[in-house]
Structure 1
Amino acid sequence: MSRPIKWRKICCMPLNKTFAPSGSKPQGKITMTIDEYETIRLMDLENCTQETCAMAMNVARTTVQKIYEEARYKLADALINGKELSIEGGEFRLCDGHNQNCVRASCRLLQRGELLQNK
């Protein structure tokens, strides 16, 4: 019997899902999963540690490390080799705003009830 899938929590879907070099034809296509995108967002943009990222995504730190390495390789391949980068798919569940380990300010405000009061 196979192991059940452990869904990775992500805070938000990417606003832009396709990136391609301008001025020339892409030299191929790479697909980054949404959970790979989330590790890049959390660790590189939000400056989270692997441990904090793992808590936010509800997975083990070693899993985050593996996802992050794959994401960074794909990103580098697209940038260096002029390939189109598409962000889609993966094993994830969208955050409902009530994740206690979420690093996004909007989720923390929703947990305290402040986001609804400010609208």
Structure 2
Amino acid sequence: MPRPKKCRRICALPRHSSFGPLEGAADGTVEMAVEEYESIRLMDLLGCTQEECAAQMGVARSTVQQVYDTARKKLALALVEGRRLHISGGDYVLCPQGEVCPGRSCAKRDCGRGRCGCGSCSGKDDGQNSQKILK
């Protein structure tokens, strides 16, 4: 039996979920998962190390490296080939204190981290999933 997948903790959903070229039509679409977006935000925008990012997302450093590499390839593909970038879905759970998240020091608070094999963390947040998972 496979090991249950560990949900990645994110602080907040992206404010904008779709990006594309302003001139002409997009040459296809690139789908980026929310946890891939979060790895880009933490490492490239906030300057976190892979270890800090892993602690904040509640996963191993090697997992963060794989998620980050995938995200960078998708981002490059969208920029270089003029494709539309759409951010949605994935295996994540929202931090219950995400609205007041201080950025880099989020992992120092007790937000909770847990394994989830139930599928309720698969990109859907109705306000109940994160509470159920994080308790």
**Superposition TM-score, scaled by structure 1 size:** 0.83
Rounded to whole Å, the distance in 2 between the matches of 1:3 and 1:14 is 29
Following superposition of structure 1 onto structure 2, how do residues 38-117 of structure 1 map, counting pairs within 5 Å? 38-97=38-97, 104=103
How many percent of aligned residue pairs carry the same amino acid?
A: 49
Per-residue deviation, 1:2: 2.2
The residue type paired with residue 26 of structure 1 is: A
**Paired residues, number:** 107
Aligned to 1:7: 7
Change over 3 Å in CA distance of 1:42–1:103 after alignment to 2: farther
Shift, 1:103, TM fit:
5.7
Residue equivalent to 2:129:
none
Contact 1:97 1:106 in 2 (8 A): no
Q: Which runs of 5+ in 1 are unaligned?
A: 112-119
Aligned Cα RMSD in Å? 2.2
CA distance in 1: counterparts of 2:12 and 2:87, whole angstroms: 13
AA partner of residue 65 (structure 1)? Q
More helix by share: 1
1:11, distance to aligned residue in structure 2 (A):
0.3
Summarize the Cα distance change of 1:106–1:59 in structure 2 as closer, same or farther, 3 Å threshold: closer
Distance 1:76 1:103 in 2: 28
Q: Which 4+ runs in 1 deviate beyond 2 A?
A: 105-108
TM-score, reference length from structure 2: 0.73
| Kept in 2: contact 1:56–1:103 (CA 8 A) | no
Output the CA distance in 1 between the equivalents of 2:68 and 2:77: 14
